[in-house]
Structure 1
Amino acid sequence: MTPLLSLDGLTKAYPGVVANDSVSLMIAPGEVHALLGENGAGKSTLVKMIYGLVKPDKGQMSMNGAPFAPPEPRAARAAGVGMVFQHFSLFDALTVAENIALGMENAPKMNALSEQIRKVSDAYGLPLAPDRIVGDLSAGERQRVEIIRCLLQEPKLLIMDEPTSVLTPQEVDILFQTLRKLSAEGTSILYISHKLEEIRTLCDAATILRLGKVVGECVPRETSARDMAEMMVGKVLATPSRSGVAPGDVLLEVRALSLPSPSAFGMPLREISINLRQGEILGIGGVAGNGQDELLAALSGEMLAPRGTVVAKGQDIGSLGPIARRKLGLLAAPEERLGHAAAPDMSLTENAMLTAMDREGLQRGGFLHWPSARKFAERVIEAFDVRTPGPWNAARSLSGGNLQKFVIGREVLQRPDILVVNQPTWGVDASAAAAIRQALLDLATGGAAVVVISQDLDELMEISDRFAALNEGRLSDPLPTEGLSVEQIGLMMGGAHGMEVAHV
């Protein structure tokens, strides 16, 4: 059978790094093919060459046996390549149909397009109303908009980059049903994900990249997740572990905190209460859009709550902003790494200065001391294995996973007394995720109090002492993680409280 897509010796180099080094692979018609590799392995560069965003330095591509060299995404789409990016490119204030029209070359009239959207959404089990405002949609529904936009172009190859990173287990099941239906109809899928059990469930074949080179291929169903992870990193993976530490004094106490929604599409917080001790990790789960961003903002001081109290280390900090809270030892790392946690066009040294100036003494006599900031950035890069040519590189030049490692490392190395993190391992590979989780465990072992907000339930069960769930801006009563069942977690995420959960 002629491969749908064939890559032969693709090479792409940037100053200081070879992103892809003579990469070859083949994807058959109707095949679901996984592309695996740790952060910085070259996955993003490779799919950008396929999609026409980047031109290879060497090598050839062919589609159905004919030469394929798209000079731009428009040409790739015309040849039958669609791509659903990890970060959605949607306008909140527009409808589903209006957003889809913006991504089409020759969009039909709105009535005709709305009918097409309904037909495709029904055919592939992706329920979506064309007239809904995107800002009112859940993360899973937003992803459906991106997928339907691609499906309307009838692609031969669909590239998906970390498609389940913001989905609930139920939404993942719906997505996989859709992808299996597409595969059965002959559409090939190139699937990028760090969730290896999902790869084993869905994919027919896998190509593994390491440092820009193909280092292996496998059939995921016949290969364990651990074996695939170790092929990716080239070493035996360590399992995060923690020394038993008895909880100490209360470091963070939140009582009846309420916060209005910061925007028309945000989520208000309602009567949030938290009690967190030294050496303790509180895991907070929930479906995206239930108040996670707002909770971090309220704890970090980015948003001041008009009702309720926040007490850190015995001091009422409800009226203090982020800088004052940092000086007291309450640090935070938000979910949105590019633009919120890090300034895209600033160097890693400058981004280190932004949050560590006071705690790391990066100023002298009122002047910023850049040599000290550079040394601190270098410490973060080394300690968290951030793949970058150096601390002078701009934040936007890093892959998503490497920037995530830098953002988390920057906060952890400041030795916080209280750390609040949202999605700490979002978009990072198995090795980096294990290292970040170990760093959080080590912080708690050292006496810090840690709040981990995450949509990765496995992560929360692995590192948390207690678990609570956010639902429509309300926080459930926390329960000990040990012995907590999937049914209890599901009830908590659905808004159940107290005795209703305890008796499951």
Structure 2
Amino acid sequence: MDSRLTLRSITKRYPSVVANDGIDLDVAPGEIHSILGENGAGKSTLMKIIYGAVKPDAGQVLWNGREVQIANPAEARKLGIAMVFQHFSLFDTLTVAENIALGLPADTDLDELSRRIDTTARQYGLDLEPQRHVHTLSVGECQRVEIVRALLARPQLLILDEPTSVLTPQAVEKLFDTLRQLAAEGCSILYISHKLDEIRALCHKCTVMRAGKVTGVCDPTQESSASLSRMMIGAEPPAIHATPREPGETRLVVSHLSLPKSHPFGTELSDINLELRAGEIVGVAGVSGNGQQELLAALSGEDTRAAPEAILLRGEAVGRLNAARRRRRGLGFVPEERLGRGAVPDLSLAQNILLSHQDSSMIRGGMIRFGAIGHLAAAVIKRFKVKAPGPQATAGSLSGGNLQKYIVGREVMRDPRVLIVAQPTWGVDVGAAAQIRAELVALRDAGCALLVVSEELDELFEISDRLVVIAKGRLSPSIPRGEATVDMIGLWMSGLWDQAGKGETGHA
């Protein structure tokens, strides 16, 4: 039987790099096939070629045994190829239903489409409101829109890039059941994930890429996470060593923080209590869209509606202070959105330094010290092993994982007293993820107080001293990491915690 998709000697060159160098790939009907590789290995470029978003310089693409030239995504969709991108292609000012309708015939009935969206989302455990505007969605909720849009097309080939980052552990298995069912019905699936345990549990075949080339093909069910890691990065990721220690002074206190919705589809924050001390990492778990966005905005200073005393930063009431004034008092912040908020795509990495470094060493007498920002950008690139041509490379030219390393590194090198980090390793390969986590732990050991909001439970269990869960705008009691289990936290993510149970019932 012919392969569903065959690639032969696919090559794509850019001025500074060969993104794909003679790639061969075969995907059979009904096969769940993983593409594994470091950030910058060429995975995204290859997927864009399959989807028609990028034209290869050389090579052949065969679809169901017939050579095709996929000129654009519309042609890919006609063939039966659907893709969920790592960086989303949604219009902020349109609703969920309107965004999905853009890829459908012009006479599509929006009311009927909304019903289909709702049915499909519920079927796969992906809560969505079709009439909600995209600009009100969190990153995780935007990913749900992309997944549902792809599933609505009933594709012959479904390309998924990091699809489980928005799901509870209980919902991941439900999605896997759905993907296995799609595969059993003949749908081929290209699955990109940095979660090696997922690849081993789900995928039938794995193609490993490094520096734009295929370095191996294997049956992931016969491999260990360590052996897959060695194939991908040439080594096992270093273990994180978090030395137990007594936390120090209280750096951040949130007391009875309640905020109404900032927009009709937002999440109301209800009586949030949180205490963060020097030399500790508190991990915040939760399914995307349960108030993380609102809590981060209130803590960072983007939302200044809180009562002054509701947020104390190093003993000072800052509830009404903006982000810049909180930064000057020792707060660091890494947003979940890399492009647009964490970095300006069209500015250089050096210029992006100024988004968080605006002290006298960078700006003097109203004049930008370009030598200083270039030097610091180069230091971040070197220390965090960012794959970039240099400080003058634009932020938008970096892969998602390398841009994340740069943004985290930029904040770490400010030496903050309190650091709030959202999704520190989303879409980052195992080697880079281990490096980022090690840097956060080192910052904690140096006395910083860290609040890490993540939908990666393994990550939170690895680096946190205490865990809390946010669900429907409420915050659970905190629990020491050693007393928590994945199943317990998974249940708490549905709001099912016992207020009289373990952990602190007052301040988290």
TM-score normalized with structure 1 length: 0.92
TM-score normalized with structure 2 length: 0.91
Q: Aligned residue for 1:315? A: 316
CA contact (8 A) 1:95 1:130 kept: no
Could you give the per-residue CA deviations for residues 344-365 of structure 1, whole angstroms, max 9, x where no partner exists? Answer: 211111111221121x721233
Q: Aligned residue for 1:176? A: 176
CA contact (8 A) 2:283 2:454 kept: yes
Q: CA 1:439/1:151 → structure 2, altered by over 3 Å: closer, same or farther?
A: closer
Q: Aligned residue for 2:352? A: 351
Structure 1 position 82, deviation (Å): 1.4
CA contact (8 A) 2:257 2:269 kept: yes
Q: CA 1:145/1:236 → structure 2, altered by over 3 Å: closer, same or farther?
A: closer
Query: How far apart, in 1, do the equivalents of 2:129 and 2:423 lie?
Result: 31
Q: CA 1:107/1:188 → structure 2, altered by over 3 Å: closer, same or farther?
A: farther
Instruction: Name which of structure 1's ranges 209-218 and 102-111 shifts more when overlaid on structure 2.
Output: 102-111
Query: How far apart, in 2, do the equivalents of 1:90 and 1:238 lie?
Result: 37
Matched residue type, 2:240: P
Query: How far apart, in 2, do the equivalents of 1:306 and 1:148 lie?
Result: 35
CA contact (8 A) 1:94 1:133 kept: no
Q: Aligned residue for 1:273? A: 273
Structure 1 position 324, deviation (Å): 1.8
Once the two structures are superposed, the pairs formed by residues 13-162 of structure 1 within 5 Å of their partners are: 13-90=13-90, 97-105=97-105, 107-110=107-110, 121=120, 125-126=123-124, 132-135=130-133, 145-162=145-162
1:186 aligns with 2:186: yes
Structure 1 position 242, deviation (Å): 2.1
Structure 1 position 236, deviation (Å): 3.1
CA contact (8 A) 2:140 2:165 kept: no
Q: Aligned residue for 1:285? A: 285
Query: How far apart, in 2, do the equivalents of 1:292 and 1:85 lie?
Result: 22
Query: How far apart, in 1, do the equivalents of 2:226 and 2:21 lie?
Result: 25
Could you give the per-residue CA deviations for residues 23-44 of structure 1, whole angstroms, max 9, x where no partner exists? Answer: 1111111111000111101000
Q: Aligned residue for 2:341? A: 340
Q: Aligned residue for 2:207? A: 207
CA RMSD of aligned residues (A): 2.6
Query: How far apart, in 2, do the equivalents of 1:413 and 1:439 lie?
Result: 10
Q: Aligned residue for 1:433? A: 433
Instruction: Name which of structure 1's ranges 239-248 and 333-342 shifts more when overlaid on structure 2.
Output: 239-248
Identical columns (%): 50
Q: CA 1:182/1:241 → structure 2, altered by over 3 Å: closer, same or farther?
A: same
CA contact (8 A) 2:480 2:503 kept: no
Query: How far apart, in 2, do the equivalents of 1:330 and 1:394 lie?
Result: 26
CA contact (8 A) 1:125 1:178 kept: no
Q: Which runs of 5+ in 2 are unaligned?
A: none
Matched residue type, 1:104: L
CA contact (8 A) 2:477 2:503 kept: no
Q: CA 1:131/1:38 → structure 2, altered by over 3 Å: closer, same or farther?
A: closer
CA contact (8 A) 1:492 1:501 kept: no
Q: CA 1:106/1:30 → structure 2, altered by over 3 Å: closer, same or farther?
A: farther
Q: CA 1:303/1:37 → structure 2, altered by over 3 Å: closer, same or farther?
A: same
Structure 1 position 388, deviation (Å): 1.2
CA contact (8 A) 2:158 2:189 kept: yes
CA contact (8 A) 2:42 2:212 kept: yes
Matched residue type, 1:121: T
Name the SS of the counterpart of 2:328 in structure 1.
helix
CA contact (8 A) 1:259 1:269 kept: yes
1:371 aligns with 2:371: yes
Could you give the per-residue CA deviations for residues 143-175 of structure 1, whole angstroms, max 9, x where no partner exists? Answer: 565445434544221111111122222332222
Query: How far apart, in 1, do the equivalents of 2:366 and 2:93 lie?
Result: 44
Structure 1 position 88, deviation (Å): 4.3
1:443 aligns with 2:455: no
Q: CA 1:189/1:290 → structure 2, altered by over 3 Å: closer, same or farther?
A: same
Matched residue type, 1:133: Q
Name the SS of the counterpart of 1:467 in structure 2.
strand
Name the SS of the counterpart of 2:200 in structure 1.
helix
Structure 1 position 465, deviation (Å): 0.7
Q: CA 1:352/1:103 → structure 2, altered by over 3 Å: closer, same or farther?
A: same
Query: How far apart, in 2, do the equivalents of 1:61 and 1:246 lie?
Result: 58
Q: Aligned residue for 1:486? A: 486
Q: CA 1:477/1:114 → structure 2, altered by over 3 Å: closer, same or farther?
A: closer
Structure 1 position 259, deviation (Å): 2.5
Query: How far apart, in 1, do the equivalents of 2:417 and 2:128 lie?
Result: 48
Name the SS of the counterpart of 1:356 in structure 2.
coil
Could you give the per-residue CA deviations for residues 256-287 of structure 1, whole angstroms, max 9, x where no partner exists? Answer: 22223222222222222222211111111111
Structure 1 position 6, deviation (Å): 1.0
Structure 1 position 374, deviation (Å): 0.6
Name the SS of the counterpart of 2:333 in structure 1.
strand
Query: How far apart, in 2, do the equivalents of 1:128 and 1:477 lie?
Result: 26
Q: CA 1:168/1:131 → structure 2, altered by over 3 Å: closer, same or farther?
A: closer
CA contact (8 A) 2:281 2:444 kept: yes
